[in-house]
Homo-oligomer: A and B are copies of this chain.
Amino acid sequence: MIGSSAPRTLNVALLGCGVVGSEIARILTEQADELERRAGARLRLAGIAVRTMRRQRDLAVDPDLFTTDAHSLVTGDVDIVIEVIGGIEPARGLILAALESGASVVTANKALLAEDGHTLFAAAAKADRDLDFEAAVAGAIPIVRPLSESLAGDRVERVMGIVNGTTNYILDAMTTTGAGYSEALEEAQQLGYAEADPTADVEGFDAASKAAILAGLAFHTPVAIGDVYREGITNVSASDIRSARQRGLVVKLLAICERQDTPDRTHVSARVHPAMIPESHPLASVRGAFNAVFVESHAAGELMFYGPGAGGSPTASAVLGDVVSVARNRVAGVSGPAVATHAQLDVLSIGDVHTRYHISLDVDDRPGVLAAVAQAFAQESVSIKTVLQDGHGGDAQLVIVTHQANDSALSATVERLRELPVVRGVNSVMRVEGGQS
């Protein structure tokens, strides 16, 4: 129906021409006819902004399209700006300039959206232009549109995602081979799954950006990266993974966004940390560098979205889906639904989040030890679900899994345990998710 009358052309500016950008340029060029039929308008690549002109690019696009003057490009005669530069500046300034000049924007920039999405969404609303960002969370996996549109008639209770491929690759390798963290990281680096400086991934910064975006979408509330509790995987040991395995659990780095009702009001929370989940949970079988987002909603129940979380082609697919959608809106002369923030729910700090702990202790092997340990839990009103003793004599260990409690009470319990004379050491403490309380 759309585009059945006079064909028109939309000018597209591409900011950035790395792995993702060059793939986008390739598809825009090679699939131009098919994209025109889908969008209802010809998508004409009007310019590609790059940092320097030095590098030779063997793309099948007109070399005259390249420019180092991104600002002139986005404020010129363009209808759609695709931002795949990443980082905060100059990306933010360019997106704001593009919106102000009347262009619609598609971005894959999770760091910027998590840092300052509020400013960008406000600018898009003011300009009455689209700002789409499917590629910012979990690569090619459609999750932004399902959360904001498909589930628009439902109430999302919890989102749990494996949203960082690097850390899932490392944890999966540790699970499969029994390797330690450093060894698995090194292998991931050799295979190109981890950067030379892996900080953004292994310390959970990347996942925290995505958690902020997911929480905002799921709960119609502005959530920024500063609201997200964050713990990386650098302290996960081979023994944590072994201990989990013995109990039918698997260790994953999860981004968890939850709605939490108290008698007087509703809160939300967003956090990223390693967690043990049951082997039978759908997220447990997400292997290698794949991503998956598990959504629990009031009416729909449990949904899961699975796929590649990164890479040039998958990210380009997500970006181009947004480009077609934005183009259809421009042809129709409208903008799509803005990011909803009407709920304005308060964001809980980690201490007030309800969760469960898996705690492994080195203890003395003598009568009364369990009583002393149990007393520490009771003093913080934390209820124990299971206790298991491993080994004897100098090797005795207690492994305790709790029922749900405030994270602050759980954390205070661990402090008490550290001070107990019968406890020779706290081996590991990890949250347990995805099961009954």
Contact = CB atoms under 8 A, between A and B. Distances in A.
Nearest to A3: B342
Interface string A109-144: 000000000000000010010000010000011100
Nearest to A125: B1
A334 interface: yes
Nearest to A320: B153
From A134, A141, A282, residue with most partner B Cβ within 10 Å: A282
A104 to B, nearest CB: 14
B305 A301 contact: no
A300 B314 contact: yes
A349 interface: no
A296 to B, nearest CB: 10
Contact of A317 (B1, B128, B297): B297
Contacts of A27: 153, 299
Each complex incorporates copies of this chain amounting to: 2
Contacts of A322: 153
A149 B2 CA distance: 14
A292 to B, nearest CB: 8
Given A1-B338, A300-B307, A306-B282, A142 B153 contact: no
A433 interface: no
A317 B153 contact: yes
A215 to B, nearest CB: 17
Contact of A324 (B152, B282, B311): B152
A35 interface: yes
Contacts of A403: none
A239 B353 CA distance: 50
Contacts of A300: 140, 307-308, 313-314, 317-318
A85 to B, nearest CB: 19
A273 to B, nearest CB: 24
A338 B304 contact: no
Nearest to A308: B301
A340 B4 CA distance: 12
Contact of A307 (B145, B155, B301): B301
Interface string A40-51: 000000000000
A248 interface: no
Contacts of A333: 334
B324 A299 contact: no
Given A1-B128, A300-B318, A149 B325 contact: yes
B324 A153 contact: yes
A401 to B, nearest CB: 25
B299 A140 contact: yes
Interface string A241-275: 00000000000000000000000000000000000
Contacts of A301: 140, 307-308, 311, 313-314
B297 A308 contact: no
A7 to B, nearest CB: 13
Nearest to A154: B317
Interface string A14-26: 0000000001000
A157 to B, nearest CB: 12
A64 B115 CA distance: 51
A424 interface: no
Interface of A: 1-2, 23, 27, 31, 34-35, 37-39, 125, 128, 134, 140-142, 145-146, 149-155, 220, 282, 285, 297-308, 311, 313-314, 316-325, 328, 332-335, 337-338, 340, 342-343
Given A37-B343, A142-B150, A146-B146, 14 more contacts: A23-B299, A37-B220, A38-B153, A140-B299, A149-B321, A152-B324, A153-B321, A154-B320, A300-B317, A301-B308, A301-B311, A301-B314, A304-B306, A305-B305
List 3 tightest A-B contacts by C-beta distance, closest first. A153-B320, A142-B150, A140-B300
13 contacts: A1-B125, A134-B150, A142-B303, A150-B321, A151-B321, A152-B325, A153-B324, A154-B320, A299-B317, A300-B308, A300-B313, A300-B314, A334-B334
